[in-house]
Amino acid sequence: MISWSVLDMAKIPGDGGELRLKKRGAEFSIMPGDNSVVRLSCAVVNDPPSRRSW
């Protein structure tokens, strides 16, 4: 299994927690604490909407 690497971190205003941008292979994730909020694959980001099947 490919492990996550942290690309960047920022403090969450008023909360004191941290927001982390992580990468694993071609997958990216935005995580506050240990929870994933947004996860994107490079294949989706680089694929024009006109060619997507969903």
What separation in angstroms does the CA of 51 have from each of 22, 37, 40, 44, 54? 27, 26, 17, 10, 9
Distance CA 49, CA 44 (A): 9
Q: Considering its fold, how many domains does the chain have in total?
A: 1
The domain in which residue 38 lies consists of 5-51
Distance CA 5, CA 31 (A): 12
Question: What is the per-residue pLDDT for 5?
Answer: 92
Confidence of residue 6 (pLDDT cuts 50, 70, 90): very high
pTM: 0.61
Tens of pLDDT, residue by residue over 16-50, are 888 889 898 888 888 887 676 767 665 555 555 56
Question: What is the per-residue pLDDT for 12?
Answer: 85
1, two tokens: 């299994």
Radius of gyration of the chain (CA): 14
